[in-house]
Amino acid sequence: MRIPILKLKRYLLISVQVDLDDQTALQFQEDLLNKIHQEGSAGVVIDLTSVDMIDSFIAKVLGDVVEMSNLMGAKVVLTGIQPGVAITLIDMGIMLEEVPTALDLEQGLDKLQQELEA
């Protein structure tokens, strides 16, 4: 299953609405990086509101997606991080200290705009 990636002006918006298995996560990583490259996107908002838990592999892929997106020039904002996801990320040593977060997609988009204007 593929996770839809929407384009809004110079941004990409992703709302993860499916359970993330290893194959879906890897496909998402590839799709997002290709879309950033194709569109020349300045920023990405990834909404994780519907994701209650992740395993160690998904946590690593998520951290990698953030790092790779930044390397390609796209600032990432994560939104809707649930407690189980936060715990797994920290337990795995994936700190994401430089990654802005927000409660929901709308606030994430506002935060992304602020980050890119700074």
Domain limits at 78?
A: 6-117
Asked whether residue 1 is assigned to any structural domain, the reply reads no
Q: Is residue 82 part of a domain?
A: yes
pLDDT tens for 82-103 read 999 999 999 999 989 899 999 9
Alpha-carbon torsion (33, 38, 44, 46), positive or negative: negative
Which pLDDT belongs to residue 110?
96
User: Rounded CA gap, 1 and 101, in Å?
Assistant: 26
Q: Give me the pLDDT at residue 1, please.
A: 81
Q: What is the pLDDT of residues 66-85, one digit of tens each?
A: 999 999 999 999 999 999 99
Is residue 20 included in any domain, yes or no? yes
- CB of 53 closer than 8 Å to CB of 87: no
- The tally of domains found in the chain comes to 1
**pTM given for the model:** 0.95
- Residue 8: pLDDT band (50, 70, 90) is very high
Length of the chain in residues, anyone?
118
Write down the pLDDT at residue 45.
98
pLDDT score of 118? 76
What's the mean pLDDT in 107-112?
96
CATH number of the domain at 21, please.
3.30.750.24
pLDDT, one tens digit per residue, over 38-63 is: 999 999 999 999 999 999 999 999 99
- C-beta separation of 101 from 62 below 8 A: no
